[in-house]
């Protein structure tokens, strides 16, 4: 069974032992998690473009498509990205063969504020992560980076907000991680649905 098929129909062993949904959902949603151990296997341009294409088909308010993706896949560009990722994240993210900065345009085409730009870009990131899982890739989104430095190094205009850096690649051996991170290298759970869903209004 191919990775593409298994990630859609069968729970991965590490997921089966650590995650259980309250209601039946596709295994795809449970198989997507955020490892920190990356192998040195390269991501093909075809697969990279496929996950970016999936992100680009996310829904957005008035179809404004505010998301922007700044991609590093060459060593030169990766070294540039490494300069603004914080030390804790860089300890593991430096092994990822692809890094992507997710940004969004805060303005609409007519110059008005786009109040949905962050919401829509988060949806695009979710689509990217799920498509990566279908292809047998792993992703991990990081908020721990220097946004001022990233803006300067990547020539990002003021009208764009920087949200996250996403590591993309293939899952590697957790032995390469620190002892503390090895203990965290497993799919985490979720709050019960009853704690995050309210009928009619939020209960006091």
Domains of the chain: total = 1
| CATH code of the domain covering residue 123 | 3.40.109.10
Q: Is 132 inside any structural domain?
A: yes
Domain enclosing residue 61, as ranges: 37-171
- In this prediction, residue 165 carries a pLDDT of 98
Q: Is 195 inside any structural domain?
A: no
Instruction: Choose among 158, 143, 61: nearest CA to 106.
Output: 158
Distance CA 96, CA 73 (A): 9
Dmax (CA) for the chain in angstroms is 52
- In this prediction, residue 4 carries a pLDDT of 61
Q: Is 1 inside any structural domain?
A: no
Q: Is 140 inside any structural domain?
A: yes
Angle at 45 between CA 99 and CA 122, to 5 degrees: 45
144 close to 85: Cβ distance less than 8 angstroms: yes
**pLDDT tens for each residue of the chain, 204 residues long:** 565 657 888 999 999 999 999 999 999 999 999 999 999 999 999 999 999 999 999 999 999 999 999 999 999 999 999 999 999 999 999 999 999 999 999 999 999 999 999 999 999 999 999 999 999 999 999 999 999 999 999 999 999 999 999 999 999 999 999 999 999 999 999 999 999 999 999 987
- In this prediction, residue 26 carries a pLDDT of 96
35 close to 171: Cβ distance less than 8 angstroms: yes
91 close to 37: Cβ distance less than 8 angstroms: no
Strands 67-72 and 160-169: unpaired
Q: Is 57 inside any structural domain?
A: yes
Burial letters 173-197, b for 16+ CB under 10 A, else e: ebeebeeebeeebebeeeeeeeeee
120 close to 104: Cβ distance less than 8 angstroms: yes
Q: Is 203 inside any structural domain?
A: no
- In this prediction, residue 203 carries a pLDDT of 80
Q: Is 121 inside any structural domain?
A: yes
Q: Is 152 inside any structural domain?
A: yes
Q: 23: helix, coil or strand?
A: coil
């Amino acid at each position: 069974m191919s990775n593409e098929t298994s990630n859609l129909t069968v729970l991965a062993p590490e997921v089966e032992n650590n995650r259980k949904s309250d209601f039946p959902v596709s295994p795809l949603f449970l198989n997507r998690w955020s490892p920190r151990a990356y192998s040195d296997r390269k991501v093909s341009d075809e697969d990279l473009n496929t996950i970016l294409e999936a992100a680009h088909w996310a829904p957005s308010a008035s179809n404004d498509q505010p998301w922007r993706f700044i991609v590093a896949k060459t060593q030169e560009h990766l070294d540039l990205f490494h300069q603004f990722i914080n030390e804790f994240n860089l300890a593991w993210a430096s092994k990822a063969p692809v890094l992507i900065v997710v940004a969004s345009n805060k303005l609409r085409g007519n110059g008005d504020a786009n109040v949905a730009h962050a919401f829509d870009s988060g949806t695009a990131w979710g689509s990217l992560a799920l498509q990566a899982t279908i292809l047998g890739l792993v992703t991990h989104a990081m908020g721990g980076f220097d946004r001022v430095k990233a803006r300067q190094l990547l020539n990002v205009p003021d009208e764009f907000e920087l949200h996250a850096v996403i590591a993309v690649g293939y899952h590697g051996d957790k032995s390469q991680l620190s002892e503390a991170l090895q203990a965290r290298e497993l799919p985490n759970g979720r709050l019960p649905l009853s704690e995050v869903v309210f009928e009619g209004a939020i209960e006091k």
